[in-house]
Amino acid sequence: MKQIFPAFPLVFFLFFFQCTPALSQSPTPAPAPPALVPAPPAMAPASGSTDVTAILGKVGHFTTFIRLLKATQLADQLNTQLYKSNQGLTVFAPTDDAFSNLKLGMLNSLTDQQKYQLVQFHVLPSFFSVSQLQTASNPLRTQAGGSDGQFPFNVTTSGNQVNITTDMVNATVADTVYTDKQLAVYEVDKVLLPHGLFVPPSPPPAPLKPKKRPASDSTQSNDTPHVQDDTSDGIHLSQHTLRATSSIVLVLAAFI
């Protein structure tokens, strides 16, 4: 019994030494799932700088033009066009003062289609810098006329000043609001008005009716009632009276 007890502490120490490392080790954590990367939106513009209404809103005096862009849904259309097309766009934005100078009630009298075309008339379907406007060939096709070029306008220059001439108004490019290699936005002092948008083309003249042929002389003689001439009858009566009197005088002279 005395020999067993001294060996017992040694065995217990060896057992504890072997078990301690296993107990101190913590379990390996499971790998975390990979993070999900959100897909980019299908029709998102390339950058916030190509938002036409946001650019105009920063300036502060294009409220009416911005309202027309949104009401006609052309704001989203232009932003999408900038995202898809490589040709770019040129926008001529009239100020609020320019709209206030229109004839009273003119803007409200337009139909939705006319308002849509009016805003499109202020947009060129390609990018034009100021130097390119000064050397552009007239007339310039606007988006209002489509590929047919139904509603164009002319650009003229006087020194460094750029003027826009339609068949109704003469406007001046007052300032450059924004420009890059894709979008150019210019401030104009008048609302650009195309004549054909407000005044419909006059209808062709009606064909002339054939003239009635004049009635013949014979027809007129048959249809026209005979009017007796009292003067001629009086003359004939006087002649007969004169002849009768002459005869009586001659007879009386023969008997005397």
CATH number at residue 151: 2.30.180.10
- State which amino acid sits at residue 122: H
Q: Among candidates 62, 68, 81, which has minimal Cα distance to 188? A: 62
Would you state the pLDDT for residue 147? 67
Give domain status of residue 110, yes or no: yes
- Residue 36 domain flag: no
Residue 208 has pLDDT above 70, yes or no: no
> Is pLDDT above 80 for 250?
no
Query: Considering the domain boundaries, does residue 62 fall inside one?
Result: yes
> What are the Cα distances from residue 134, in Å, to 52, 85, 155, 163?
23, 24, 7, 9
Q: Token pair 């934005």 is at which residue?
A: 93
**Residue 225 belongs to a domain:** no
pLDDT tens string 91-133: 999 999 999 999 999 999 999 999 999 999 999 999 999 999 9
Provide the pairing of β-strand 140-141 with 152-158.
Answer: antiparallel
Q: What is the pLDDT of residue 161?
A: 92
Name the band, by pLDDT with cuts 50, 70 and 90, for residue 244.
low
Decide if 100 is inside a domain. yes
For position 119, what pLDDT does the model report?
96
| Residue 201: how many other CB atoms lie within 10 Å | 7
CB 99 within 8 A of CB 107: yes
Q: Kindly state the average pLDDT of the residues 151-170.
A: 93
The pLDDT assigned to 159 comes to 86
The pTM of this model reads 0.61
Burial 63-101 (b: 16+ CB within 10 A, else e): ebbbebbeebebbebbbebbeeeeebbbbbbbbeebbee
Look over the chain and give the mean of its residue pLDDT values, rounded to a whole number. 75
Question: Is residue 217 assigned to a domain?
Answer: no
What distance in Å separates the CA atoms of residue 94 and residue 66, rounded to the nearest whole number? 10
Burial classification of residue 45, based on how many CB atoms lie within 10 Å of its CB (0-12 exposed, 13-18 middle, 19 or more buried) = middle
Say if 242 falls within a structural domain. no
Q: Within 10 A of 191 (CB to CB), how many other CB atoms are there?
A: 24
Its domain, for residue 66, covers 48-198
Give domain status of residue 244, yes or no: no
Cβ–Cβ < 8 Å for 78, 91: yes
Choice between 186 and 254, residue whose per-residue pLDDT is larger: 186
Number of domains present in the structure of the chain: 1
More confident position, 241 or 77 = 77
Q: What is the pLDDT of residue 197?
A: 74
How far apart CA 209 and CA 63 sit, in angstroms, is: 55
Contact in structure between 59 and 95 (CB atoms under 8 Å): no
